[in-house]
Amino acid sequence: HPLHAKSIEQFRQLNPDISFVLFDRADRDDYMEKNWSDHPILDVYQRALVGQMQADIFRYCIVFDRGGYYFDYNKGCSVPLHTLHPADSDGLVTAESNLSLVFPKNEAATALSHPTNLHAQWGFGFRAKHPLLHIAIERIVEIEPFFRDKEFPVPKEAVLAMTATGLFTDSLRTYVSKNG
């Protein structure tokens, strides 16, 4: 869509020091098959009934492997990414304005700037092999059986819980509780 193309161009202009890689569904599927065939996350990815779930899993896996930033093409950021963190940072996350229904453990609550909020997984950055992304990938594999073959009145809520914002927020809180 032309509006998406415009937002991508603006995002690139704000971040001329960053290379951009776009994946379509075929590229995404190929990447997962080549790089995650020995991990149970590939089976979860391949059986996902909702495209957003595959996109969520893919973003965790590719940033875990390569490091870098991930942003949904319809989101972006209005300032250069390097201005949001010191150069030696291991990761970049952002709190959403939405409140979480579950408050984190004290260890995470005291370390997070916004402990009552959900955290966005539509835009983040990490160094390669960051443990937070490993936690997210392993947690998806762990909880997937609880979602398998179930019908949900509001499927979006199941997606948010299993692979999207809820899962990412939980993984972030787990990481921060253990590592500060």
Distances (CA, A) of 20 to 76, 85, 138: 12, 19, 27
- Determine how β-strand 117-119 pairs with β-strand 123-126: unpaired
- Predicted confidence (pLDDT) at residue 105 exceeds the cutoff of 80: yes
Query: pTM, whole model, 2 decimals?
Result: 0.94
1-52 residue pLDDT tens: 677 788 888 889 999 999 988 899 999 999 999 999 999 999 999 999 999 9
pLDDT of residue 52: 95
In whole angstroms, what separates CA 122 from the centre of its chain?
A: 6
**E-state strands within 48-158:** 68-71, 91-92, 95-99, 117-119, 123-126
The residues near 116 (Cβ < 8 Å, ≥ 6 apart) are: 99, 100, 103
Question: What mean pLDDT value characterizes the chain?
Answer: 94
Cβ neighbours of residue 64 closer than 8 Å, sequence gap 6 or more: 126, 128, 129, 130, 133, 134, 137
Q: pLDDT tens digits for 40-99? A: 999 999 999 999 999 999 999 999 999 999 988 777 788 999 999 999 999 999 999 999
Distance CA 87, CA 11 (A): 19
